[in-house]
Amino acid sequence: MKLTTTRLTHLHQLPTGVRELLSRNIPRAACARLLPLTSRRQFADVTQQRRNLTTQQLDSGRDERERVVILGSGWAGYTIARELDPKKYQAVVVSPRSYFAFTPLLASTSVGTLEFRTALEPIRTRRSDISFFQGWADSVDFKNGKIAVEEAVADPSSSRALTQDRHAGQTKEERKEEKRVEAKKGKLFDLTYDKLVVTVGCYSQTFGTPGVKEHAYFLKDVGDARRIRSRLLACFEAAALPTTTDDMRRHLLNFAVVGGGPTGIEFSAELHDIIREDLARIYPELVPFSKITVYDVATKVLPMFDEKLGKYAMEIFKREGIDIKTSHHVEGLWPGAPGESPGDHSAFTLKVKEEGELGVGMVVWSTGLMSNPFVANALDEVRELPHTFERLAAAPEDSQTSNPQQWRVKKDAKSSSILTDPQLRMKLVGDGKNKPEGILNDVYAIGDCAILEGSSYPATAQVASQKASWLAKRLNKGDLDRAAGFTFKNIGVMAYIGNWNALFQGGEGGNISGRLAWVIWRGAYLTKSVSWRNKILIPIYWMINWIFGRDISRF
């Protein structure tokens, strides 16, 4: 059996017949003969169809190929999984999500400008060679090239923004005991790799603001977008009840966005669009109660755009009535309108340092990244070095100590992100007084969880996918060692600012704003969207929703 899936469990718990079945490369015709008659008849035509793509087949078909295990299915992970040459590498994605989310379109899906699935690409498809296990990477054994995976098939958190460690509050011993139980149940299993690509991304940072984790709406994943869409429409429906007071209407229809980055700004713009274009016609008497405010602690929003574009955006927002409140500090969030006990679908209270307690219908939190607990915990101490470890020449051996050198994954002091060399290989640092350094030649880290040491590339989809493409190309060519390191080519930043206006700031300095930038914005995302399915569906939804309005059914 080539996919070594060692179960961390006792022998009597081993899956009956799985290894036997997997290890033999039984001809398909013979296989069919072993099956019950019904199943055979039912799918006889199919098992002979097309190439077969999943674990069992990949295992026997692995041949000379190296297995590249990719942790995560975001911009970095999904890009490299697709771009690795399947003739040379067996790509195995391990992710709690069964899909890749095209994040720039999430804000559109959160108000129904696009349908949710147009922003998703399933990892498994009829046409791809990518193998997939739905699970969380739990720990890494660098020495033996092996990761432990905690399965996540039914994990309800897997389509939502993550704000804290799943195992937070557990002591190391408790977690160890839990892992024993999980292994016994088949919830935890080992997976070997030849190369490991860490693209686990970041969690959402709430800066310890009380109530935000529990009551704010995030916008990092499609489950978040679905919650926002449902809540937004429920706020209007609740405000339309004859028993709702005007005060409560004002609370329910007061929408606060915390964070003035592209996500927060684009969401505000989309929210303004659905209110102006659809809800104003469906609930005309409620629209005067509605309000959108963007809060940011910084002195300006959209810091990545130059002054002229920023000013243009502010003017558009002012004209549209969206309030931008910079240098404002959110201090807390709790259910129930100000001074009231929480009701069934009542408003929330948002406490802002500069404004006091405000009644709000929904707070969308779109600021802050937090180090992934996997990076913090699993990627820390390296107990035994693998043979792929390469010590960098810089520092001499600590000869005065008798203890063997202890190595840790080198991390950025501020963000705790993994540091890599220009070849995107994970760096290690020793605990000797000379702080010796080394790299793992078979472990790479890209995406929001990693920083190329010495660079100042932003944590964006563009950087993540460029790194992933670069690494895939190098691995496909086999010239990583000889290649010059990765460099980022800024192809520009864009933001939708509502009412068919956008900002575009080219990498080379060209600035465009307004309707033309909007056309570029739509064109770019349409071109970049991955599958033909979505390239067709996205413009159809743009048109259908422009003609008929967005759907407001809630379920």
* Residues 105-124 close enough to bind a copy of itself by CB under 8 A: 115-117, 120-122, 124
Q: Cα separations (Å) of 375 from 12, 362, 458? A: 34, 31, 19
Binding residues for a copy of itself, total number by CB under 8 A? 110
Nearest CA to 368 among 154, 143, 202?
202
User: In the chain, what are the helix, strand and coil shares in percent, each to the nearest 5?
Assistant: 35, 25, 40
Indicate the Cα dihedral angle 385, 386, 391, 396, nearest 10°. Answer: 30
User: Per CB under 8 A, which of residues 369..428 are in contact with a copy of itself?
Assistant: none
- Pick one of 133, 267, 374, 518: the residue that binds a copy of itself (CB under 8 A): 133
**What is the distance, to the nearest Å, from the Cα of residue 540 to the centroid of all Cα atoms in its chain?**
26
Judged by CB under 8 A, does residue 12 bind a copy of itself?
no
Nearer to a copy of itself, 285 or 508 (CB): 285
Report the residue from 103, 282, 335, 526 that binds a copy of itself according to the rule CB under 8 A: 282
Measured between alpha carbons, how far is 517 from 502 in angstroms, rounded to an integer?
5
Measured distance CA(57)–CA(90) in Å, rounded: 12
| Contact track, a copy of itself, 529-548, x by CB under 8 A | --xxx--xx--x---x--xx
> Quick check: 428 and 438 in contact, CB under 8 A?
yes
CB proximity list for 327: less than 8 A, separation 6 or greater: 296, 297, 298, 299, 354
CB of 328 to a copy of itself, least distance (A): 16
Distances from the Cα of 53 to the Cαs of 22, 81, 153, 245, 486, in angstroms? 14, 14, 19, 58, 32
Contact positions with a copy of itself (CB under 8 A) in 214-243: 221-223, 226, 233-234, 237-238, 240-243
Does residue 362 contact residue 397 with C-beta atoms inside 8 Å? no
Q: What are phi and psi of 164, to 5 degrees?
A: -155, 160
* CB closer to a copy of itself out of 222 and 375: 222
In terms of Cα–Cα distance, which of 494, 499, 550, 515 is closest to 322? 499
Residue 310 Cβ, how far from a copy of itself at the closest point, in Å? 20
State which of residues 10, 12, 126, 172 lies at the interface with a copy of itself (CB under 8 A): 126
- Smaller CB distance to a copy of itself: residue 97 or 522? 97
Minimum CB separation of residue 453 from a copy of itself in Å reads 35
User: Does residue 498 come out as left (phi exceeding 0), alpha (psi in the -120 to 50 range) or beta?
Assistant: left
Stretch that binds a copy of itself, among 44-52, 165-173, 388-396, 423-431 (CB under 8 A): 44-52
Contact characters 325-354, a copy of itself, x per CB under 8 A: ------------------xxx---------
Q: Which of 460/545 has CB closer to a copy of itself?
A: 545
**Residues 165-194 within binding reach of a copy of itself (CB under 8 A):** 185-187, 189, 191
Between 215 and 425, name the residue whose CB sits nearer to a copy of itself: 215
Contact with a copy of itself (CB under 8 A) among 320, 421, 442, 448: 320
Contact status: 322 vs a copy of itself (CB under 8 A) = yes
Q: Does 246 bind a copy of itself (CB under 8 A)?
A: yes
Residues present in the chain in total: 555
Restricting to residues 47-86, name those near a copy of itself by CB under 8 A: 47, 49-50, 52-57
Find the shortest distance in angstroms from Cβ 451 to a copy of itself. 29
Yes or no: say if 237 and 554 are a contact pair by the CB < 8 Å rule. Answer: yes
